Amino acid sequence: MFNLIAWSYSLYIMFFFSVAIAGYMEDKYSASVIEDSSLDMLGLTRKYGYPLESHYVTTEDKYILRMFRLPRPNARPIFLMHGLLDSSITWVLSGPWGALGYYLYDLGYDVWMGNARGNFYSRNHSHYNPDNDKSFWRFSWHEIGFYDVPASIDYVLNKTGYDKMAYFGHSQGTTSFFVMASMRPEYNKKITLMSALAPVSYMKNVNAPLLPIMRNLMAISGNTITEFLPRSELWRACFRSKMTEDTCFDYMFQLLGKDPKMWNATMAPVYMSHLPSGCNLKQFKHYVQLIDSGRFCQYDYGSTENLKRYNSSHPRDYPIKKITAPVALYYTSNDNLSGFKDVIHLSKELPNVVENCLYPYKKWNHMTMVWGLEARELTHKHMVELMKKYEPQSM
Ligand SMILES: *[C@@H]1O[C@H](CO)[C@@H](O)[C@H](O)[C@H]1NC(C)=O
Ligand SMILES: *[C@@H]1O[C@H](CO)[C@@H](O)[C@H](O)[C@H]1NC(C)=O
Ligand SMILES: *[C@@H]1O[C@H](CO)[C@@H](O)[C@H](O)[C@H]1NC(C)=O
Ligand SMILES: *[C@@H]1O[C@H](CO)[C@@H](O)[C@H](O)[C@H]1NC(C)=O
Ligand SMILES: *[C@@H]1O[C@H](CO)[C@@H](O)[C@H](O)[C@H]1NC(C)=O
């Protein structure tokens, strides 16, 4: 409790001073980097010379999601799904020289990037206003997997005329895939290969120093359902001075793991400005439940509500055996948010693991495979080679 309060106060105090004193960021980082930190999907792709289309996808429960496409009509489509508190922008943030989204486009693919309900790009619903209606904020990543990912996949296949495509997921983008493919197994046949970057399902071995803070936050919030860490200008406070910058990096490394190569340090403000991009506190709660129970199961509403929803006083396990799409697992041993022991546990239950790759890089953290300086050379190339092997010979 104390930690949390101290933490939020320090952020607010830093923010206050950042308004009063500016200049550190401008002196240390290039004008182009500072410009990138305030651009969105459209601005960023335009600046680097890539075409971008924006699409609206409506789910069965009427959430309106924003999906982005680096369009290459008639080429084979690929779907990319971001992690918790992240957004589609994560696939282009590192620039044409590093980002997976641009890389796949440059290789000749039609690249589609989803956005989970509730994030910066997908705060939209046919009936509920996310700013005023609590009803909007009744979901965890279960609903993202059950509704958002299937709706996005159907939309892409419908638009492109293909009957299956490759999927790349990072972190929660893998959790939501496992939810979909186990609960709605008819979607397995729409996937050529699922590439799981830093997969998250079982969470018994998750161990991040900031976790106690998260638990306190859960305790304080009780049953309130609310938006959590929406995109804001607070990140600017981090770049007020060397001291505030070190403090922010320290918090981030505590949460994600310390890896100086997780990003191109000359671009730090670009990453810090786009993550967090908002989620629902219930997504965190659902993850914390998995850490506590050691299971990969649906949301625990308490026994009365569980009985109503699941016909059982305990939440149901996701039927992993039904995930028949080919899955490639990519993980590292220092990633405490995607514990390698948990991934190995998952790999033993998944019926169709075609690649079980524990990268031997001891420092890599939860973001390195997406943002990392060496990610393209050491991971993306290898992932794409495998993906190609699963492409049908003709459509
Ligand atoms: C919500 O979605 C509709 C399309 O169905 C779109 O016209 C509108 O601009 C969106 N609103 C926001 C705030 O994104
Ligand atoms: C896409 O969906 C529309 C409307 O639901 C349907 O008429 C059309 O045939 C679909 N196209 C493909 C290629 O599946
Ligand atoms: C990861 O967990 C291990 C042991 O559980 C711990 O020693 C280490 O400090 C953690 N690393 C990070 C970056 O949290
Ligand atoms: C790091 O980012 C800068 C832009 O700030 C870019 O010019 C440079 O090529 C990047 N370096 C690497 C190794 O990706
Ligand atoms: C609920 O569970 C009970 C016992 O586990 C079972 O007999 C019953 O058929 C289930 N009802 C439904 C609607 O699934």
pLDDT above 70 (res 223)? no
The closest ligand to the CA of 35 turns out to be: 4
For residue 184, report the distance from its CA to the centre of ligand 5, in Å: 20
pLDDT above 60 (res 395)? no
Confidence at residue 64, expressed as pLDDT on a 0 to 100 scale: 98
Confidence at residue 132, expressed as pLDDT on a 0 to 100 scale: 87
Reported as a single tens digit per residue, the pLDDT across 130-144 is: 998 889 999 999 999
Mean pLDDT value across the chain? 90
The Cα–Cα gap between 17 and 146 comes to 43
pLDDT above 60 (res 21)? no
25: its two tokens: 């960021």
Shortest-distance atom of ligand 3 to CA 257: 13
Q: Active site includes 171?
A: yes
For residue 130, report the distance from its CA to the centre of ligand 1, in Å: 12
pLDDT above 60 (res 87)? yes
Confidence at residue 27, expressed as pLDDT on a 0 to 100 scale: 86
132 in contact with ligand 2, CB cutoff 6 A:
no
pLDDT above 70 (res 372)? yes
Q: What is the DSSP string of 270-284?
A: HHHHHS---EEHHHH
Q: Whose CA is nearest to atom 3 of ligand 3?
A: 207
Mean pLDDT in residue range 323-330: 98
Mean pLDDT in residue range 34-50: 95
Shortest-distance atom of ligand 1 to CA 64: 2
Mean pLDDT in residue range 66-76: 97
Q: How far is CA 72 from CA 88, 97, 105, 153, 389, in A?
A: 18, 19, 8, 17, 21
Shortest-distance atom of ligand 2 to CA 159: 13
Confidence at residue 20, expressed as pLDDT on a 0 to 100 scale: 46
Confidence at residue 11, expressed as pLDDT on a 0 to 100 scale: 60
Confidence at residue 215, expressed as pLDDT on a 0 to 100 scale: 77
Shortest-distance atom of ligand 4 to CA 267: 5
Confidence at residue 2, expressed as pLDDT on a 0 to 100 scale: 39
Confidence at residue 238, expressed as pLDDT on a 0 to 100 scale: 85
**Which amino acid appears at position 236 of this protein?**
R
248: its two tokens: 């922010």
Q: Among 180, 176, 384, 368, which residue's Cα sits nearest to residue 287? A: 176
160 in contact with ligand 2, CB cutoff 6 A:
no
155 in contact with ligand 2, CB cutoff 6 A:
no
Q: Set out the domains of the chain in order of their start, with CATH numbers.
A: 3-293+319-389 (3.40.50.1820)
The better pLDDT of the pair 310, 274 is held by 310
Reported as a single tens digit per residue, the pLDDT across 335-356 is: 888 999 999 999 999 999 999 9
The Cα–Cα gap between 255 and 132 comes to 31
For residue 105, report the distance from its CA to the centre of ligand 2, in Å: 25
In this predicted structure, which of 68-77, 125-134, 194-203 has the lowest mean pLDDT? 125-134
The Cα–Cα gap between 368 and 360 comes to 13
Ligand 1 first shell, C-beta below 6 A: 56, 64, 124
Cβ neighbors of 305 (< 8 A, separation 6 or more) are none
Q: Decide: 375 and 95 in contact? Cβ < 8 Å.
A: no
105: its two tokens: 């486009």
pLDDT above 90 (res 240)? no
Q: What is the DSSP string of 145-173?
A: IIIIHHHHHHHHHHHH--S-EEEEEETHH
pLDDT above 70 (res 394)? no
pLDDT above 60 (res 172)? yes
Q: Whose CA is nearest to atom 11 of ligand 3?
A: 257
For residue 163, report the distance from its CA to the centre of ligand 2, in Å: 12
Confidence at residue 210, expressed as pLDDT on a 0 to 100 scale: 67
Cβ neighbors of 108 (< 8 A, separation 6 or more) are 72, 75
pLDDT above 90 (res 226)? no
Mean pLDDT in residue range 143-168: 98
Reported as a single tens digit per residue, the pLDDT across 281-297 is: 889 889 989 999 999 99
Confidence at residue 19, expressed as pLDDT on a 0 to 100 scale: 52
Shortest-distance atom of ligand 2 to CA 161: 13
Mean pLDDT in residue range 320-349: 95
In this predicted structure, which of 3-7, 91-95, 183-187 has the lowest mean pLDDT? 3-7
The Cα–Cα gap between 262 and 348 comes to 29
Find the catalytic residue in 170, 286, 366, 380.
366
In percent, the amount of the chain with pLDDT more than 70 equals: 92
Confidence at residue 5, expressed as pLDDT on a 0 to 100 scale: 46
Q: What is the pTM of this model?
A: 0.92
Pocket test for ligand 4, best of 36, 39, 267, 378 (most atoms within 8 A of CB): 267
The Cα–Cα gap between 62 and 126 comes to 6
Find the catalytic residue in 18, 88, 171, 338.
171
For residue 225, report the distance from its CA to the centre of ligand 5, in Å: 30
Question: What is the rounded end-to-end Cα distance, in angstroms, of the chain?
Answer: 56
DSSP state of 379: I
Mean pLDDT in residue range 252-263: 85
Q: How many other C-beta atoms lie within 10 A of the C-beta of residue 24?
A: 17
For residue 137, report the distance from its CA to the centre of ligand 3, in Å: 32
Band of residue 275 on the pLDDT scale cut at 50, 70, 90: confident
In percent, the amount of the chain with pLDDT more than 90 equals: 68
Confidence at residue 312, expressed as pLDDT on a 0 to 100 scale: 96
